[in-house]
Structure formats: C-alpha cells, structure tokens
C-alpha cells in the first residue's frame, strides 16, 4: 500500500488530463514537481507538489492502521521508515506510470514530516536558503537531504539509532537520483529555475 501510494503519478496525470502534456517528454524528463513547474507552470506545479508531499506523509502513517506496536516504540518507527522507503521507490519507479517517475524530493519531504517534523523544518529552511541563494533546485535538494543525518545527530539526537541510518540512506538515494544534476553542477551547466510565468507557447504547441 505504501508503494502504491508513492506510485500515484500526480505530475503525469495532471499534465495529461488538464494540459494534454506528458511532462516526462519535456524539460528534465522527470515526473516530479520541479519539472512540472518548469514545463507547465505554477498552476500545475503546486498541486503536484502538494500531492507528492501528501503521499509520502500518508504512506508513513499507514503504520497506525496496520501495526500493533506502541507508536512511540522503536519497532513502530522502523516500520514507518520502511513504509517511507517504499513510497519513495513508488515515486521513483511508479507501477502506475510505466516505472518512469521523478526523483522523490517532495515525497521524501512528506515522509520526513511524518517521521520527524523538526527535521523536516530544518530541511525546509536549508532548501529555501540554498534555492534562493543559487536558484538550483537540485543543489537545494542535495543540501536539504544532507541535513537529515546531521539533524538526527546534532540537533535532535535520535533515540532510535536506525533513524540516523535512515537519514544517511535518504542522502544516498538523493545523490544517486541526482547524479546527472551533480555532473551538470560541476560543469556549471545545470538549469536554474525561477517561478515565473512561462511555458504558455510550449503548452499550446503541445496541445
């Protein structure tokens, strides 16, 4: 169920149903919120962003319906982490969209909100600071993911050691999915994004 929640291809469905555009055929080719903003604009991007965050949050909270463990216990938290990872893999490899998904940043944020709101706030602040300083969503995402294990070690010391390992797993996953972005950042060829009105002509052409 967690995987299927993560597999909901909000970017693909909204793009096809409302704009007759498959966002995977444009921009970065990813079915995520960032590429939706880039290809279709804010009116499509914000709903995709909200849905992707929600499905990560909802997947983690499935534990409350299927687990008999005490919610404050380490076993319960570890079950939530497993559900969160399942949702991330669902977003990246969605069975409902031919296994061609996005990079999972918004869904990952929803997972962290459900697991640890404090760590989610730290990651959000890091993301916003880096994004507005450099206008690179990829760089902001990598820096935000890097904050997870550090937050669990230094700011909110984890009582469950697995949470620190989960933070490093999240960072590793982000580094893997952003490999091409990292290469472009090194070559200074990465595209910047600004939330301005654009794409109208491109959208009309595809319609």
Angle at 179 between CA 124 and CA 150, to 5 degrees: 40
Distance CA 115, CA 205 (A): 43
Give the chain's mean pLDDT: 91
pTM for the model: 0.90
Nearest CA-CA partner of 174 in 102, 124, 114, 86:
102
Read off the tokens for 100: 């061609």
Per-residue pLDDT of the chain (207 residues; tens, 9 = 90+): 999 999 999 999 999 999 999 999 999 899 999 999 999 999 999 999 999 999 999 999 999 999 888 988 999 999 999 999 999 999 999 999 999 999 999 999 999 999 999 999 999 999 999 999 999 999 999 999 999 999 999 999 988 899 999 999 999 999 999 999 999 999 999 988 764 444 433 433 433
Instruction: Give per-residue pLDDT as tens, 23-78.
Output: 999 998 999 999 999 999 999 999 999 999 999 999 999 999 998 889 889 999 99
Give me the residue spans of the domains in the chain.
2-197
Distance CA 56, CA 53 (A): 5
């Amino acid at each position: 169920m967690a995987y299927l929640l993560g597999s909901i291809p909000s970017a693909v469905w909204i793009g096809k149903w409302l704009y007759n555009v498959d966002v995977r055929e444009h921009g970065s080719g990813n079915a995520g919120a960032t590429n939706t903003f880039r290809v279709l604009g804010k009116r499509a991007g914000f709903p995709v962003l909200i849905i992707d965050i929600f499905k990560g949050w909802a997947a983690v909270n499935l534990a409350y319906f299927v687990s008999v463990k005490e919610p404050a216990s380490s076993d319960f938290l570890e079950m939530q982490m497993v559900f969160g990872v399942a949702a991330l893999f669902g977003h990246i490899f969605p069975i409902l969209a031919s296994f061609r998904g996005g990079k999972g940043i918004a869904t990952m944020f929803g997972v962290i909100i459900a697991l640890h709101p404090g760590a989610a706030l730290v990651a959000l602040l890091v993301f916003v600071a880096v994004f507005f300083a450099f206008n690179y969503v990829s760089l902001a995402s990598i820096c935000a993911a890097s904050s997870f294990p550090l937050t669990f070690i230094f700011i909110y010391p984890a009582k469950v050691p697995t949470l620190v390992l989960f933070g490093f797993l999240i960072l590793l996953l982000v580094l893997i999915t952003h490999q091409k972005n990292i290469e472009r950042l090194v070559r200074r060829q990465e595209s910047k994004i600004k939330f301005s009105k654009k794409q109208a002509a491109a959208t009309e052409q595809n319609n």
